[in-house]
Structure 1
């Protein structure tokens, strides 16, 4: 989906971004159905921690959780957006509302998964979120995460016309932030547009 930078629409970046997803949840689900962009990473996680109990933060329509469950993992599906929760319940899935910034994550889990989510977390909140993830893992537990690469943070609007907040980071910055939280990077995979942009997928292990 194409996007463009816009002036700050005001309000909490987290709350305003959630409002946007409330408005576009059904369209987002249709656009991403069957995409499987990070299927390789999800299957690799399943091979690394077979029969694992997994917390997924930001399940959205639930396509990634479907892949994990098909691979034999037990997934606690969560999302902060009520529209995604209702969508998954219509699909017959169990899902809970969870705000990664403000709520306790429970656990301990064998793995935590959050794909295409941390881009919406403000830079000042990221260390606390990663520390919270680490605290929800068993010793040796895994964290599978993806982030957009780049520099800067601000508001964008996609084809839907709804604004959302994005914070971009370099691979080195993000790996260092993981290490600060006690998470050791095991492997990384880039979806590269050029040397400094695109998406980074990381599997990290709790030390």
Structure 2
């Protein structure tokens, strides 16, 4: 499905999208609590790097980090949205503010997790972000990532009326981008089978 562009609302796509999440963080947390979409990736990662040290980029409410910690991994929770940071801190969690596009992400880690995040990264910024992820991994480290499948990029209006920048990619296109960064796909899961839409989850290994 080709995305029809919505007129640019002003500000960089990343900054405007973050501003939208600042306004709906509590609602987002409530709506995603207990969500199991593509949860197989979390299980697979926990089996692949047991007791590993994981960087999560875009932790949001922290539900995925909770699952990984329950599986025995140590997670560095990060987000760029202050409302999500405050939400997690109110839950007693330690969360760092991190801008994956502009900040040093640290490392080395046994794994990096970025779920439901990279669709908000502009096409031109994606290669640098993936290269940064690869550089933060130990030799043989894993990258767990999910993206929405499709074609095109533009602004989308959510149910709240806020605008979000989303860049859609095909599976082949994204796997190729991972390879360019030195990351080899070793496992994939789709939310919708036999369709070029829905969500794709990939577990890749640093080559």
Q: Which runs of 5+ in 1 are unaligned?
A: none
Q: Which stretch of the first structure deviates more once superposed, 188-197 or 153-162?
A: 188-197
Aligned equivalent of 2:200: 200
Structure 2 residue 135 is the aligned partner of structure 1 residue 158: no
Distance 2:46 2:173 in 1: 27
Q: Which stretch of the first structure deviates more once superposed, 7-16 or 113-122?
A: 7-16
Aligned equivalent of 2:104: 104
Q: Which stretch of the first structure deviates more once superposed, 184-193 or 42-51?
A: 184-193
Aligned equivalent of 1:142: 142
Distance 1:109 1:143 in 2: 10
Where 1:195 maps in the other structure, the secondary structure is coil
Structure 2 residue 80 is the aligned partner of structure 1 residue 86: no
* RMSD of Structure 2 on Structure 1 (CA): 1.3
How big is the shift at 1:173?
Answer: 0.4
Q: Which runs of 5+ in 2 are unaligned?
A: none
Would the alpha carbon gap of residues 194 and 163 (structure 1) be closer, same or farther in structure 2, given more than 3 Å must change? farther
Aligned equivalent of 1:68: 68
How big is the shift at 1:26?
Answer: 0.4
Aligned equivalent of 2:50: 50
Aligned equivalent of 2:119: 119
TM-score when scaled to structure 1? 0.96
Contact 1:52 1:110 in 2 (8 A): yes
Q: Which stretch of the first structure deviates more once superposed, 28-37 or 82-91?
A: 28-37
How many pairs are equivalent? 205
TM-score when scaled to structure 2? 0.96
How big is the shift at 1:5?
Answer: 5.8
Q: Residues 104-139 of structure 1: CA distance to partner in whole angstroms, max 9, x if unpaired?
A: 000000000000000000000000000000000000
Aligned equivalent of 1:15: 15
Q: Residues 27-46 of structure 1: CA distance to partner in whole angstroms, max 9, x if unpaired?
A: 00010011122322101100
Moved over 2 A (4+): none
Contact 1:39 1:67 in 2 (8 A): no
Where 2:146 maps in the other structure, the secondary structure is strand
Q: Residues 36-87 of structure 1: CA distance to partner in whole angstroms, max 9, x if unpaired?
A: 2232210110001100000000000000000000000000000000000000
